[in-house]
Amino acid sequence: MSRCRTFKYKLQPTNSQRGDLERLIAGQRELYNAALEERRGAWKWERRSVSYEDQTGTLTKLREVRPDILAFGVTVSRGTLRRLDRAFCAFYRRCRAGEKPGFPRFKGKGSFDSVQWEDSSGWKLDEEAKRLRIFGIGKIKVRLHRPIQGIPKAITIKREGDCYWLSVRCVEVPAEPLPVTGKEVGIDLGVEVLVATSDGKTFLGPRFLKRSETRLASAQEAVSRKRKGSGRWKKAKAEVRRIHRKIRNRRIGALHQLSRELVNAYDLIVHEDLQITNMTKRPKPRPNGEGGFEKNGARAKSGLNRSIHDAGWGIFLAMTSYKAESAGREILVVDPSNTSRRCGSCGHIEAGNRRGAVFRCLGCGYEAHADVNAAQNILRAGRAQQLQCLAA
C-alpha cells in the first residue's frame, strides 16, 4: 500500500541565490498581507466574501503592476494565496466548533519564513545532479542525504536562521513492512519518565529545554539589553533563535530514535487519547469578590506546561503513528480515564493508590512503578477494544 510522505533536505545556495530567496520570501509576504487586507476590506466595507479563486484570478493583472512579485512564477504566488485561504478555513472551522477562533493576522518580517509550490510546475528536482531548479533563481545545490521515494508533487522552502530547507511532498510512497514480532505493548507518557511500557521498560525524558535554560536565559537577557532594531540586537536575537533551533533538533532526533525502537519491537502499540492542548491550558482566574484574585496555581501550572511541551508528546505520537503505518504495525488509542489509579492486579480504583512514582494498591497491596502500572492498564484497555471490534 502506498503512502504520502514528506522528505526534508538542506539547501546550499550561493550568495547570489540567497539574495534571490530573500527577495522571493519578502515578495510573497507582501502578497500575503495584501491579500489579507483585500479580504478584510471587502467584508468591512461591502460585506462581500473574497475566495481563493477570486484572488488567483487577479494574479495576471498583478504582473503589470508588480512584476517583481511574479518574477519567480505564478505557482508560488498561488501557494501563498492557498496558505491564506487555509488560515481562513481554520478560522471558520474553529468558530463553528465554538473554539477560540484567532483571526488571521498580518505577517511581519520575522513571522513569514516559508514559500510553497502547490503543484509540480515552477520547479524541478534533479536527484542525480543533486540540484533543485527554481523558476527565476536557477539551480540550487541540495544535500540529498537519503533518496526520495514515490512521486514528488509539491515543495516548500523554509528559512531557519541562516539555513534554507527543502521539504518535498511525495505521493505513492511504497510501504516498508517489518517482520512480525508477536509482541504487544501499552505505553504511558510522562515528564520525568517520557515513556513507560507495559513490559517494565522506562525511557527517561531528555528534557533538552530544561538542560539549556541557563544558556537560553543568558541569551534572552542579552537581547533585552540591546536597542531594538540595532545590529547588535539582531545578532543577539539570532543567537536566541540558534539555541531554540538546537534544542528542537535534539528533541526531534531523540524522539525519532525512540519511536523507531518501539515500532521495530512491537506489532501493536496502545497509547492514551491525550488532549494535549487542553492539558496545557492556563488555569482560569479566581476572583475573590473584593476586586482581586485568589491563588489558582498558575505558576506551578506554567512549569508543568513547559515540561509537557519540552517532552514533545504530540511529536512523539505523530512519529510513532506514521512509522507504524509504513511498517504495517497497529496503533490503538484508548480512553485515559483512571489508567493511573487502577490497580493492574485486582482492578481496584482509588486516587490514593498512586504516590508519585510509586503505585501501591490500597485494596490488595500490589506494588509497581506507577507509570508501568498505567501502561499495563492501557494495554489491557486496548486488548478489550480489539475484542469489542471483533464481536461487532
pLDDT of residue 288: 80
Contacts of residue 293, defined as CB under 8 A and 6 or more positions apart, other chains included, come to: 285, 286, 287
Specify if 350 maps to a domain.
yes
**Total domains present in the chain:** 2
Average pLDDT over residues 76-90: 95
pLDDT of residue 388: 85
Neighbouring CB atoms inside 10 A of 384's CB total 11
Q: 61 or 9: which carries more pLDDT confidence?
A: 9
CA angle, 326 then 149 then 117, to 5°: 110
262-304 tens-digit pLDDT:
999 999 999 999 888 888 888 888 888 777 788 888 888 888 8
pLDDT at 206 over 90: no
141-150 tens-digit pLDDT:
999 999 999 9
Q: Which three cell numbers stand for residue 105?
A: 493576522
Instruction: Please provide residue 27's backbone torsions phi and psi, each rounded to the nearest 5 degrees.
Output: -65, -40
Q: Check 20, 188, 239, 310 and give the catalytic one.
A: 188
Q: 392 or 255: which carries more pLDDT confidence?
A: 255
Specify if 250 maps to a domain.
yes
pLDDT of residue 292: 79
Q: How far apart are CA 122 and CA 75, in angstroms?
A: 6
What number of CA atoms fall less than 13 Å from residue 240's CA on the CB side?
14
pLDDT of residue 291: 78
When pLDDT is cut at 50, 70 and 90, the band that residue 378 belongs to is very high
Residue 224 shares a structural domain with residue 336: yes
Specify if 179 maps to a domain.
no
pLDDT at 352 over 90: no
When pLDDT is cut at 50, 70 and 90, the band that residue 139 belongs to is very high
The three-state secondary structure class of 323 is: helix
Residue 215 shares a structural domain with residue 311: yes
When pLDDT is cut at 50, 70 and 90, the band that residue 2 belongs to is low
Average pLDDT over residues 152-156: 95
What is the residue range of 84's domain?
A: 2-174
Residue 117 shares a structural domain with residue 202: no
Residue 155 shares a structural domain with residue 213: no
Q: 162 or 9: which carries more pLDDT confidence?
A: 9
Specify if 343 maps to a domain.
yes
Q: How far apart are CA 194 and CA 208, in angstroms?
A: 12
Mean pLDDT score of the chain: 91
pLDDT of residue 290: 79
When pLDDT is cut at 50, 70 and 90, the band that residue 126 belongs to is very high
pLDDT of residue 152: 94
Residue 14 shares a structural domain with residue 143: yes
Q: Letter for the amino acid at 227?
A: R
Check if 188 is active-site. Answer: yes
Residue 143 shares a structural domain with residue 189: no
Q: What percent of the chain has pLDDT over 90?
A: 69
Q: What is the DSSP letter of 179?
A: P
pLDDT at 21 over 90: yes
Q: How far apart are CA 329 and CA 180, in angstroms?
A: 9
Q: How far apart are CA 24 and CA 15, in angstroms?
A: 14
When pLDDT is cut at 50, 70 and 90, the band that residue 392 belongs to is low
Residue 374 shares a structural domain with residue 244: yes
Residue 192 shares a structural domain with residue 160: no
Check if 272 is active-site. Answer: yes
pTM, two decimals, is 0.88
Q: Which three cell numbers stand for residue 300?
A: 506551578
Check if 371 is active-site. Answer: yes
Whole-angstrom CA distances from 35 to 83, 200, 274, 340 are 11, 55, 37, 50
Residue 163 shares a structural domain with residue 189: no
**Residue that finishes a domain, picked among 144, 174, 204:** 174
CA angle, 6 then 7 then 9, to 5°: 145
**Residue that finishes a domain, picked among 174, 198, 222:** 174
Residue 74 shares a structural domain with residue 102: yes
50: left (phi over 0), alpha (psi -120 to 50) or beta: beta
Residue 162 shares a structural domain with residue 77: yes
Residue 212 shares a structural domain with residue 138: no
Specify if 293 maps to a domain.
yes
Contacts of residue 332, defined as CB under 8 A and 6 or more positions apart, other chains included, come to: 268, 269, 270, 271, 382, 385, 386
When pLDDT is cut at 50, 70 and 90, the band that residue 8 belongs to is very high
pLDDT at 132 over 60: yes
Q: How far apart are CA 245 and CA 254, in angstroms?
A: 14
Query: CB of 28 within 8 A of CB of 112?
Result: yes
When pLDDT is cut at 50, 70 and 90, the band that residue 28 belongs to is very high
Average pLDDT over residues 177-196: 93
pLDDT at 1 over 80: no
Could you tell me the CATH number of the domain that includes residue 361?
3.30.420
Query: CB of 186 within 8 A of CB of 197?
Result: yes
Q: Which three cell numbers stand for residue 48?
A: 462581500
pLDDT of residue 265: 94
Specify if 58 maps to a domain.
yes
**Residue that finishes a domain, picked among 150, 174, 198:** 174
pLDDT of residue 178: 93
Q: Letter for the amino acid at 55?
A: Q
